[in-house]
Amino acid sequence: MINPLKGLGDLRKMQQQAQQMQQALQQEEVIVEKDGIRVVLRGDQQVKEIEIDGVLDNRIADAINEAVKKTQELAARKLIEMTQSE
């Protein structure tokens, strides 16, 4: 007999793995320095800090993070629209 709820267990496992990966990525950092600008980006693509000519200015980082969040929300809405129209 086929268990129709087996897929739910697989889905939970995938969600747990995704959460673990997200947490691991938050701990990683990439630092790029170019032309007097230093950017620290977390592995989950969140800007941690931006320094321009030795001056830390997280207003820029906050604005970029807000823009990224809005594009993620846009992508989620588009995905929902696409799956509902099928």
Topology, domain 6-84: Ybab; Chain: A; (3.30.1310)
For residues 54, 60, 65 and 71, what is the CA-based torsion angle, rounded to 10 degrees? Answer: -130
Q: Dump pLDDT digits (tens) for 16-45.
A: 888 888 888 888 999 999 999 999 999 888
Q: How far apart are CA 56 and CA 86, in angstroms?
A: 48
Residue 68 confidence class, pLDDT cut points 50, 70, 90? very high
pTM of the predicted model as reported, rounded to 2 decimal places: 0.65
Q: How far apart are CA 18 and CA 51, in angstroms?
A: 31
**Hey, where are the domains in the chain?**
6-84
Q: Would you state the structure tokens that stand for residue 81, as one six-digit string? A: 């629209």
